[in-house]
Structure 1
Amino acid sequence: MLNTLAIRDMLLIAEAELSFAPGLNVLTGETGAGKSILLDSLGFVLGWRTRADLVRPGAAQGEVTAAFALPPGHPAFALLDEAGIAGAEELILRRTISAEGRRQAYVNDRRVAAETLRGLSDLLVELHGQGDDRGLLDPRGHRGLLDSYARHADLLAGVRAAWAALSEARGALEAERRALEEAARDTEYLEHAVAELDALAPTAEEEPELDARRRRLRAAARIREDVAKAAQALGPEGAEGPLLQALRWLEGAAEQAEGAVDPALDALARVLEELSGAAGAVETLLDGLGGDPGELEAVEERLFAIRALARKHNLAPDLLPEFAEDLRARLGRITGGADEIVRLTAAAEAAEADYTATAARLSESRRAAARRLDAAMAEQLEPLRLGRAVFATEVEPGEPGPDGADRVRFAAATNPGAPAGPLDKVASGGELSRFLLALKVCLSARGEDPTLIFDEIDRGVGGATADAVGRRLRALGAEAQVLVVTHSPQVAARGGHHWRVGKMIEGGAAVTRVEPLDPAERVEEIARMLAGDTITDAARAAARALLES
Structure 2
Amino acid sequence: MLTGLLLQNIALIESLELEFSSGFTVLTGETGAGKSILLDALDAVLGGAQGASGVRLLRAGSDRARIEAAFQLSPALEQWLIGAEFDPEEELLISREWKRQEGDRFSSRCRLNGSTVNRQQLLELRPLLIDLTVQGQIQLLSRAGQQRLWLDRLGGSSLAEVKAQVADAWTDWRVAADALIALEQEQQRFEQERAEQEQQLEQLQAADLEDPDEQQRLEHEQDRLVHGVRLLEGLALLFGRLRDGADQGPSLQDHFSASIQELQAMAQLDGSLEPLRDQALDLGAGVDALLRSLDQYGLALESDPDHLERIQDRLSVLKRLQRRYGLDLAGLILRRDDLLHRLGAEGFAADLARLHQDENDRRQSRDQANAALHRERSNAAEALEASLLELLPPMGLANMRFKVDLTPCDPADHGADAVQFLFSANPGQPMAPLTEVASGGEMSRFLLALKTTLAAVDGSSTLLFDEIDAGVSGRVSGAMADLLQTLARQRQVFCVTHQPLVAAVADHHFRVSKHVEDGVTHSRVSRLRDTQERRQELADLAGGNQADAYAASLLDQRTA
> Is the shorter-chain TM-score for this pair beyond 0.5, marking a shared fold?
yes
* Cα deviation, residue 480, structure 1: 0.6
Say which SS state the counterpart of residue 491 (structure 2) adopts.
coil
Match of 1:198 among 195, 208, 213: 208
* Cα deviation, residue 195, structure 1: 1.9
Say which SS state the counterpart of residue 75 (structure 1) adopts.
helix
Partner of 1:274: none
Partner of 2:98: 97
Structure 2: unaligned runs, 5 residues or longer? 235-293
Partner of 1:15: 15
The AA in structure 1 aligned to 2:22 is P
* CA-to-aligned-CA distance 1:413-439 (integer Å, 9 cap, x gap): 223453210123333443333223322
Q: 1:6 to 1:419 in 2, by over 3 A?
A: same
Match of 2:550 among 534, 542, 547: 542
8 Å contact 1:133–1:436 — kept in the other structure? no
> Is 1:519 matched up with 2:515?
no
Match of 1:175 among 182, 196, 215: 182
In 2, Cα distance between equivalents of 1:395 and 1:357: 17
Say which SS state the counterpart of residue 370 (structure 1) adopts.
helix
Say which SS state the counterpart of residue 161 (structure 1) adopts.
helix
Partner of 2:291: none
Q: 1:221 to 1:64 in 2, by over 3 A?
A: closer
8 Å contact 1:160–1:402 — kept in the other structure? yes
Partner of 1:110: 115
In 1, Cα distance between equivalents of 2:122 and 2:460: 18
8 Å contact 1:194–1:328 — kept in the other structure? no
Which structure 2 residues correspond to residues 143-154 of structure 1 after superposition, within 5 A? 143-151=148-156, 152-154=159-161
* Cα deviation, residue 119, structure 1: 3.2
* Cα deviation, residue 319, structure 1: 2.3
The AA in structure 1 aligned to 2:7 is I
In 2, Cα distance between equivalents of 1:55 and 1:193: 74
* Cα deviation, residue 286, structure 1: 13
* Cα deviation, residue 216, structure 1: 4.3
* Cα deviation, residue 131, structure 1: 7.0
* Cα deviation, residue 527, structure 1: 1.0
Q: 1:181 to 1:219 in 2, by over 3 A?
A: farther
Partner of 1:299: 308
In 2, Cα distance between equivalents of 1:318 and 1:136: 56
Match of 1:160 among 161, 167, 186: 167
* CA-to-aligned-CA distance 1:250-275 (integer Å, 9 cap, x gap): xxxxxxxxxxxxxxxxxxxxxxxxxx
The AA in structure 1 aligned to 2:199 is Y
Say which SS state the counterpart of residue 383 (structure 1) adopts.
helix
* CA-to-aligned-CA distance 1:15-69 (integer Å, 9 cap, x gap): 2222222221100111110112212222233232253133434544322222212
> What's the C-alpha RMSD, in Å, of the aligned pairs?
3.1
Partner of 1:28: 28
Which structure 2 residues correspond to residues 54-453 of structure 1 after superposition, within 5 A? 54-71=57-74, 74-100=75-101, 101-130=106-135, 132-138=137-143, 140-151=145-156, 152-184=159-191, 185=194, 186-198=196-208, 203-216=214-227, 295-314=304-323, 319-335=328-344, 336=346, 337-453=348-464
8 Å contact 1:505–1:511 — kept in the other structure? yes
8 Å contact 1:197–1:324 — kept in the other structure? no
The AA in structure 1 aligned to 2:149 is G
* Cα deviation, residue 97, structure 1: 2.0
8 Å contact 1:307–1:317 — kept in the other structure? no
Say which SS state the counterpart of residue 415 (structure 1) adopts.
coil
In 2, Cα distance between equivalents of 1:201 and 1:97: 66
* Cα deviation, residue 220, structure 1: 8.5
* Cα deviation, residue 493, structure 1: 1.7
Say which SS state the counterpart of residue 128 (structure 1) adopts.
strand
Partner of 1:530: 542
TM-score, normalised to structure 1, is 0.80
Say which SS state the counterpart of residue 48 (structure 1) adopts.
coil
Q: 1:462 to 1:416 in 2, by over 3 A?
A: closer
In 2, Cα distance between equivalents of 1:464 and 1:487: 14
Q: 1:317 to 1:366 in 2, by over 3 A?
A: closer
In 1, Cα distance between equivalents of 2:210 and 2:91: 77
Q: 1:86 to 1:287 in 2, by over 3 A?
A: closer
Q: Between 388-397 and 417-426, report the one with greater CA deviation.
A: 417-426
Say which SS state the counterpart of residue 379 (structure 2) adopts.
helix
The AA in structure 2 aligned to 1:512 is S
The AA in structure 1 aligned to 2:350 is D
In 1, Cα distance between equivalents of 2:208 and 2:200: 12
Partner of 1:272: none
In 1, Cα distance between equivalents of 2:135 and 2:91: 30
* Cα deviation, residue 397, structure 1: 0.9
8 Å contact 1:6–1:66 — kept in the other structure? yes
In 1, Cα distance between equivalents of 2:201 and 2:92: 71
The AA in structure 1 aligned to 2:71 is F
Q: 1:312 to 1:506 in 2, by over 3 A?
A: same
Say which SS state the counterpart of residue 124 (structure 2) adopts.
helix
* Cα deviation, residue 318, structure 1: 9.3
* CA-to-aligned-CA distance 1:90-114 (integer Å, 9 cap, x gap): 2222332224423333323334334
Say which SS state the counterpart of residue 296 (structure 1) adopts.
coil
Q: 1:300 to 1:97 in 2, by over 3 A?
A: same
Say which SS state the counterpart of residue 394 (structure 2) adopts.
coil
8 Å contact 2:98–2:107 — kept in the other structure? yes
* Cα deviation, residue 168, structure 1: 0.9
Q: 1:509 to 1:219 in 2, by over 3 A?
A: closer
* Cα deviation, residue 520, structure 1: 1.0
In 1, Cα distance between equivalents of 2:139 and 2:421: 13
In 2, Cα distance between equivalents of 1:510 and 1:200: 87
Q: Between 44-53 and 488-497, report the one with greater CA deviation.
A: 44-53
In 1, Cα distance between equivalents of 2:308 and 2:143: 78
In 2, Cα distance between equivalents of 1:289 and 1:63: 86
In 1, Cα distance between equivalents of 2:372 and 2:532: 57
Structure 1: unaligned runs, 5 residues or longer? 224-284
8 Å contact 1:214–1:296 — kept in the other structure? no
Say which SS state the counterpart of residue 411 (structure 1) adopts.
strand
